[in-house]
Homo-oligomer: A and B are copies of this chain.
């Protein structure tokens, strides 16, 4: 079980985009240089976030990305599932039906599958309780100020 490293990139990245002043679009070039990440691969994950409705993109010079909704209304789960998908990591293949003498279709859902689903929901619940705004506010003040100054310089 392994999460794509794009999850970390985008959780940080969305936090950065959230700090951009109104009217400023953060391009993937700026994002890549800010975190020293491969720009080409970053594009793939940003595209996923646009598809999921978390970010909005605009082309052309001074184009880039901004949040589709207020930072307080975007949860970490939205970001994670935009990249990883919302499917449970456990894919039940109903191997219990392959036991000789077992019915082809059980009445009750598989207990193991139910347990794994509960665990998955618990995991999602934790991520749903944290918003992008929370992530931004948890960064140390000095760092946040420096970032704000750098983003403001883009609006010139």
Chain A interface residues toward B at CB < 8 A:
1-5, 7-9, 11-12, 34-37, 76, 84, 89-93, 95-96, 98-102, 106, 108, 111-112, 115-116, 118-120, 122-127, 130, 134-135, 138-140, 143, 146-147
Closest CB pairs A-B (n = 3):
A111-B138, A119-B126, A123-B123
How many of these chains are in the complex?
A: 2
- Chain B residues contacting A138 (CB-CB under 8 Å) are 111
Contacting pair B125 A8 (CB below 8 A): no
- Chain B residues contacting A122 (CB-CB under 8 Å) are 122-123, 125-126
A2 to B76, CA, bound (A): 19
- Chain B residues contacting A11 (CB-CB under 8 Å) are 112
Contacting pair B89 A3 (CB below 8 A): yes
**Max count, chain B CB within 10 A of own CB: residue among A76, A96, A134, A135:** A96
- Chain B residues contacting A115 (CB-CB under 8 Å) are 76, 126-127, 130, 135
